A and B are shown apart, each in its own frame.
Chain A
Amino acid sequence: MRHFVIVGVLVILVAALTYVGLNYMHLMPAEASAQSIPVDWLWNLDIDVISFLLALIIVPIAYSLVVFRRKKGDATDAEHIEGNTSLEITWTIIPLIVVLVFAYLGAYTLGEINVVDPSANEIQVKAIQWAWSFTYPEGFTSKELHLPVNKQVVLKMESGDVIHSFWVPEFRIKQDVLPGRVTDYRITPILIGNYMVRCAELCGASHSYMTAPVIVSSQADYDAWIAAQKASVASAGQTPEGRGGQLATSLGCRGCHTIDGSKLIGPSWQGLYGSQVTLSDGTTVTANDAYLIESISNPSAKIVKGFETAAPMPKFDLTDVQIQDLVAYIATLK
């Protein structure tokens, strides 16, 4: 009996220390969405139970190994205890009740996460290898996701190629983005700040780099940003290079081609126009209109040296005018 009392006290002590320690470490990132609150509530409950169970198993094993270890000169076997049915039933029934409670709580928190605000904003999300683009109700497309704080938004997400997954760690929720089907991501940001959406489902070579900024701002700042975007879209739409720049964003070209000279999956566009390009077969060509038009409409026709093993660029369904707009845009990137 004495042993059980000591072990009992130790279990409670170790469990409490584990719990305090784990909480002190701040296991989760900031809570930036209304949905993160029920998730973290359930998570903290998990941590309670985990701390207790860890102590409940480890402490008696350690205690027994130390206290009941074989004494010098003792060659006999230990006590013949075959089992105890009521004990077995106890540690079947109690965990059963605990897991049923947890399953219930899991369903309950899921319900809280899924609460629908009928007046939620709707933003279209398009994911392709390896870029996100966001089309706002106002009719323009951006590489950034801007959200007003304390207002529910529903993202209508679809993939153009393989499966991706939309995850902002601070929002807690994650949802796969599928080809040929629209999935919903419903979120209510509650904390102003800059976050990152990170693709969480392996989607090929540049999966690691498939991120996009998520900016949660006050309603006023949000409205100002929307207005500014609309104005710049309107002015950009006047010129071929402006339209080309918008296309480069909405199609996700810049997921692979940078405009600052750095190397991603494809060659950078900076200083590309008019330059001498060395191809994989060793020949060089001038990056003139004809070359760029061919490379956009038939991406695998000529491969630039150093990009042979990169994932091939997909074919886009573009009109001739769109292609010319893109070329005009590329020509501006000196």
Chain B
Amino acid sequence: MKKFFSSALWHGLLWQAIGWALGASFVTLIRVLMGLKPFATFGFTEPAWVFGGLVGALSFLGGSGVLTDWFKWAKGEETHENHQDPDGWEKFINISLDHKVIGIQYTMAALLLLVVGGIFSLIFRTELASHGLQFLSLQWYNTLMSLHGIVMIIGILLGISGVINYIVPLLIGAHDMAFPRLNAFSYWLAPPAAILLLSSMALGGFDTGWTGYPPLSVRAPVGMQMFFLGVIVAGWSSVLSALNVIATVLRMRAKGMTAFRLPIFVWAAIATSIIALTATQEIGLSFQLVMFQRLFGMGFFDPAKGGDPILFQHLFWFYSHPAVYVFILPGLGIISELLPVFVRKPLFGYRWIAMSSLGIALVGFLVWAHHMYTSGMNEYLRVPFMYSTLLVAVPTGVKFFSWVATIWRGKVTGPYPTAFLFVLGGIVVFLMGGLSGPPNATVATDLHLQDTYWIVGHFHDTLFGGYVLPFFAAIYFWFPKATGRRMNEALGRLHFWLMTPSFIVLTLLMMRIGLLGMRRRIADYDPSLGFDPYHLVMTIAAFIIALSVLIFFINFFRSITKGEPATGNVWNSRSPEWQVPSPMPAHNYEQPFEVVGEPYDYGLADSVYVKFAEKKTGGRN
């Protein structure tokens, strides 16, 4: 406990509360001096809450100490080059500059947010189990549904940063990320962002979904503004993290690690970072414009003032469509990275898979308006966006076919390791998401499908198959690298076999009733449609998934201390991080390595991927 109260996290939280109160009081004081109404429904007025929220987030950063080194630089003082972390668990709630610690911090924060978002979904899933309103009010339903969306999205973004942060420097042989302080800063933006988001529940919630379309979002309670602020802060975390990843891959590679000798996951990380670095700014901008419309009456999206609500949708989807590629590209990268290890064969068509990641990322910039076929935007825009959207199927297809060819004639050892099960599950579920995509891309069919439960089923499949299942695969796979112990395989298999089939049932039923007339984002449905039994089954499936997650956490925390020791190359992988003992030492490889061969030459007896330099003679060695 004492360690907690002296941690950066605790100081940050404390300062966020203080900053929030001071900022809000400051605005209120000014309002009093100007003779304006000082208080409103939720205590402070909306401008006071917004300013307080902003000051609170900045105070968190100041209070946690993540800015200290930069302040020293600004004052012209030197800082330590070699930062030492304490040995115990407390390093995870303190500022660390080690990419592995930050990677684990990200992963834990991601798991926490995914659980929170999952609990939200369980609550309103239970509400939906039968028609009529059971225990939620309409406003609470909408708030929980909206928060489920955004909390999951931010959880996924943090999870991606977690895996990338932990594994990319190891894969390319770097001693750390290119900018360790920026890396820590990116991470420490996440806690205040999460608090801002969740605080919206106390301020009336928001009933717009995570898309926050105006004019609805202009009319929502103050909670809306906390949502906007939270997303903007989390967005900066994503932008700066992506910047760091690109710089790291371009500048910190080991000798001989040329473009086509990079592990395939690094290609995925680059592709995802290109999108996150640039497009994220547009969601921030679109939300900022709505914030200002609410605060200052600026009529960007108000038709009465010459504004246009469709403009918001363009700005919003310019990020939010590529965002799904931000989510899935690393997941697909994990699938491509792990498959060869388990099937003991080279990755089929390495260059094609690498290029398909970039292809998806770049085409992904040109497809946003397919979310707007029914929006009333200029009709002639619909056809070109249909072409560009369908084009995404081509590089995605390349990935699938290459995976099939990689698995073909592969020798997998049974019983399947949990990580491999999750890879397979990821392929199957993502395939379902992928195949349910093209009907949404062609305008005519989308006029029926848009805004229905079909869409809900479709994107849950893409995100679960493209991100969540591979994320679990990554955790099971790299857990020994981080802890020197393995997770329990029996519990892992139980986790998989409870989670994946339930999820498939859940989303297939979503699609089924969506086609028949179930709209998305509704708190209640017409009993005459006969959807009650479907919803009941879906609710049961959701609880089975929750049970499987519980099993995962039991396994996860038990294995940290009690797992079977695994310090060697447990997967018999060719990747450099497995050539040294686990857990990884603080400054990564003691001896630098040189890349001398192809990364996935499984089945070629004398082929070597990385060669470690000879230990220096003399000195202590």
Within the complex, are A and B direct neighbours (CB within 8 Å)?
yes
Binding site for B on A (CB under 8 A): 25, 27-29, 38-39, 42-43, 46, 49-50, 53-54, 57-58, 60-61, 64-65, 68-70, 74, 76-84, 87-88, 91-92, 95-96, 99-100, 102-103, 105-107, 109-110, 112-113, 161-163, 165, 167, 169, 172-176, 178-181, 183, 196, 198-209, 211, 265, 309-311
Q: Which residues of A contact B439 (CB under 8 A)?
A: 42-43, 46
Given contacts A174-B450, A207-B521, is CB(A46)–CB(B602) below 8 Å? no
- CB < 8 Å: which of B208, B393, B424, B443 contacts A99? B393
A-B contact pairs, 22 of them (CB 8 A): A25-B512, A28-B516, A29-B517, A39-B447, A42-B444, A43-B448, A64-B408, A68-B408, A70-B412, A77-B411, A80-B346, A82-B350, A83-B405, A84-B405, A109-B443, A165-B374, A176-B374, A178-B303, A183-B376, A201-B451, A207-B521, A207-B523
- B621 interface residue per 8 A CB criterion: no
Given contacts A27-B512, A77-B411, A107-B386, is CB(A91)–CB(B398) below 8 Å? yes
Complex Cα–Cα for A207 and B407 (A): 47
**Is A42 a contact partner of B391 (Cβ separation < 8 A)?**
no
Q: Across the interface, name the chain A residue whose C-beta is closest to B519.
A: A200
Chain A CB within 10 A, most for which of B351, B435, B445, B604: B445
Q: Across the interface, name the chain B residue whose C-beta is closest to A164.
A: B216
Q: Which residues of B contact A61 (CB under 8 A)?
A: 403-404, 407, 424, 427
**Is B138 a contact partner of A80 (Cβ separation < 8 A)?**
no
**Is B526 a contact partner of A196 (Cβ separation < 8 A)?**
yes
- B44 interface residue per 8 A CB criterion: no
Complex Cα–Cα for A200 and B373 (A): 13
Q: Which residues of A contact B516 (CB under 8 A)?
A: 28-29, 169
**Is A204 a contact partner of B346 (Cβ separation < 8 A)?**
no
Q: Which residues of A contact B442 (CB under 8 A)?
A: 42, 46, 102-103, 105-106, 109
Please tell me the size bucket of the interface on B: 35 or more
Given contacts A205-B142, A208-B523, is CB(A78)–CB(B345) below 8 Å? yes
**Is B344 a contact partner of A175 (Cβ separation < 8 A)?**
no
Given contacts A58-B431, A64-B408, A163-B309, is CB(A174)–CB(B374) below 8 Å? yes
Q: Which residues of A contact B414 (CB under 8 A)?
A: 69-70
CB distance from A42 to the nearest CB of B (A): 5
Given contacts A81-B348, A83-B350, A174-B374, is CB(A68)–CB(B410) below 8 Å? yes
Q: Across the interface, name the chain A residue whose C-beta is closest to B450.
A: A174
Q: Which residues of A contact B602 (CB under 8 A)?
A: 77-78, 80
- B383 interface residue per 8 A CB criterion: yes
Q: Which residues of A contact B345 (CB under 8 A)?
A: 77-81
Complex Cα–Cα for A102 and B398 (A): 18
**8 closest cross-chain pairs (CB), A and B:** A180-B303, A106-B442, A80-B603, A208-B522, A169-B517, A109-B444, A99-B390, A77-B603
- CB < 8 Å: which of A39, A91, A106, A110 contacts B441? A106
Given contacts A78-B409, A106-B386, A181-B303, is CB(A88)–CB(B398) below 8 Å? yes
**Is B447 a contact partner of A163 (Cβ separation < 8 A)?**
no
Complex Cα–Cα for A58 and B344 (A): 20
| B387-426 with Cβ < 8 A to chain A | 387, 390-391, 393-394, 397-398, 400-405, 407-414, 424
Given contacts A103-B386, A176-B375, A178-B309, is CB(A309)–CB(B444) below 8 Å? no
Complex Cα–Cα for A211 and B303 (A): 25
- B207 interface residue per 8 A CB criterion: yes
- CB < 8 Å: which of A80, A176, A200, A204 contacts B452? A200
Complex Cα–Cα for A183 and B411 (A): 59
**Is B209 a contact partner of A91 (Cβ separation < 8 A)?**
no
- B524 interface residue per 8 A CB criterion: yes
Q: Which residues of B contact A169 (CB under 8 A)?
A: 448, 516-517
CB distance from A218 to the nearest CB of B (A): 24
Q: Which residues of B contact A27 (CB under 8 A)?
A: 512, 515
Q: Which residues of B contact A99 (CB under 8 A)?
A: 390-391, 393-394, 438
| B504-542 with Cβ < 8 A to chain A | 512, 515-517, 519-526
Q: Across the interface, name the chain A residue whose C-beta is closest to B414.
A: A69
- B137 interface residue per 8 A CB criterion: yes
Complex Cα–Cα for A58 and B142 (A): 38
**Is B352 a contact partner of A88 (Cβ separation < 8 A)?**
yes
- CB < 8 Å: which of B382, B397, B410, B522 contacts A95? B397
Given contacts A27-B515, A80-B345, A102-B438, is CB(A58)–CB(B428) below 8 Å? yes
| B480-521 with Cβ < 8 A to chain A | 512, 515-517, 519-521
CB distance from A112 to the nearest CB of B (A): 8
**Is A200 a contact partner of B447 (Cβ separation < 8 A)?**
no
Complex Cα–Cα for A106 and B440 (A): 10
Chain B CB within 10 A, most for which of A57, A77, A165, A209: A77
Q: Which residues of B contact A87 (CB under 8 A)?
A: 349, 401, 405
Q: Which residues of B contact A199 (CB under 8 A)?
A: 519
**Is B390 a contact partner of A175 (Cβ separation < 8 A)?**
no
**Is A68 a contact partner of B138 (Cβ separation < 8 A)?**
no
Q: Which residues of B contact A106 (CB under 8 A)?
A: 383, 386, 390, 441-445
**Is A103 a contact partner of B448 (Cβ separation < 8 A)?**
no
- B567 interface residue per 8 A CB criterion: no
CB distance from A220 to the nearest CB of B (A): 27
Given contacts A203-B216, A208-B522, is CB(A46)–CB(B393) below 8 Å? no
